[in-house]
């Protein structure tokens, strides 16, 4: 399908070389830059009069302004999560004018899955504890660490959500011989892994050595991990969150860690972000925090731009868009 010359609005705060390459590679289409770029993938840039001239929006454009525009034919967000756009009225507005909405899951599935795998291996092999020894009095606690190390082989991992990040994590974990159970709203039957519905969540938590949340923030997921669910997990189980911090009742998580019932927690996301230096999660027993870095990688911005440009070529040809939501 031939596509007329488009005006592409970009509010992503890319490094200058990436922006320059994007402008060149998008030709013959015109790229206009936001008057105030988005500070991060987690923050909307807010309304911008320049968006009114756009046929395509790249970055984190203001949802209300997108809905009101009759010109925008395609919105591509520079994140895997899209909570602020995950609304019936937003999706309906795009569908009503035949517009598309895509995200950048393909960019973040690998780093997020690898990050979670690193967390799981680090806990199993007691790497944090050995680092703490090295930074303190450097005792040679070989016997203690050896006897308390664990193998992932034969253990059970419960993964909440079955988007692109969870699917890649399953691929990474499968060769380790883990028993993997994924929890999703509706099972399709062709996942290639054991899948149960949300109605069975509490049942499968009883069997979990590892519980991984990749969940977005929605009305259904806020506070999903509460005291009852932490209590349902076997003593010594480990909890990981690479989804959204709002899905966890952090007071309940603190209680589970302090009581020793929970073996540990690895958190890449918290509520709020950034987490204040005096927040008790920083010093909770066996709680390890990374500052929302699971998706980070050395060529993140370049890959975001390439992903958009690949989709732009598909858009020009009238082909199916990658990572399409609407």
* Residues annotated as catalytic (active site), given as ranges: 244, 273, 292
Q: What is the DSSP string of 160-218?
A: E--SHHHHHHHHHHGGGT-EEEEEESS--S-SSSEEEEGGGHHHHHTT-SEEEE-PPP-
C-alpha angle 9-11-12 in degrees, rounded to nearest 5: 120
- The tokens describing 54, both together, are 């756009």
Using DSSP, state whether 293 is helix, strand or coil: coil
Say which residues have a Cβ less than 8 Å from residue 23's Cβ, sequence separation at least 6.
Answer: 31
Residue reference for tokens 């199993």? 124
Query: What span, in angstroms and rounded, lies between the C-alpha atoms of 65 and 69?
Result: 6
Please say whether the beta carbons of 39 and 60 come within 8 A. Answer: no
Starting from the edge strand earliest in sequence, which strands make up the sheet with 74-77, in order?
30-33, 7-10, 56-59, 74-77, 100-102
Which contacts (CB < 8 Å, 24+ apart) does range 173-176 have? 173/117, 173/120, 176/152
Residue reference for tokens 């009883």? 206
């Amino acid at each position: 399908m031939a596509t007329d010359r488009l005006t592409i609005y970009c509010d992503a705060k890319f490094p200058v070389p990436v922006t320059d390459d994007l402008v060149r590679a998008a030709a013959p289409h015109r790229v206009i830059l936001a008057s105030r770029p988005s500070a991060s993938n987690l923050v909307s840039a807010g309304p911008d009069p320049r968006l009114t001239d756009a046929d395509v929006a790249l970055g984190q454009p203001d949802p209300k302004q997108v809905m009101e525009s009759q010109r925008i034919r395609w919105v591509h967000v520079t994140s895997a999560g899209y909570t602020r756009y995950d609304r019936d009225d937003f999706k309906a507005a795009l569908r009503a004018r035949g517009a598309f909405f895509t995200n950048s899951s393909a960019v973040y599935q690998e780093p997020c899955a690898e990050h979670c795998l690193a967390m799981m291996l680090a806990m199993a092999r007691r790497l944090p504890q050995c680092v703490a020894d090295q930074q303190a009095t450097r005792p040679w606690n070989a016997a203690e660490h050896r006897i308390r190390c664990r193998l992932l082989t034969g253990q059970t991992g419960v993964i909440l959500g079955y988007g692109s990040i969870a699917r890649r994590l399953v691929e990474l974990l499968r060769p380790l011989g883990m028993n993997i159970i994924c929890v999703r709203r509706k099972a399709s039957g062709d996942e290639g892994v054991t899948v149960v519905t949300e109605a069975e969540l509490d049942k499968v938590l009883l069997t979990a050595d590892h519980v991984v949340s990749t969940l977005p923030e929605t009305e259904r997921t806020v506070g999903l991990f509460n005291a009852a669910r932490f209590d349902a997990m076997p003593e010594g189980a480990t909890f990981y969150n690479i989804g959204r911090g709002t899905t966890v009742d952090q007071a309940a998580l603190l209680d589970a860690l302090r009581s020793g019932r929970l073996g540990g927690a690895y958190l890449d996301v918290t509520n709020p972000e950034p987490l204040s230096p005096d927040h008790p999660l920083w010093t909770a027993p066996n709680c390890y925090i990374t500052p929302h870095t699971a998706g980070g990688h050395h060529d993140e911005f370049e890959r975001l731009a390439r992903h958009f440009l690949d989709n732009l070529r598909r858009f020009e040809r009238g082909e199916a868009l990658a990572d399409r939501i609407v």
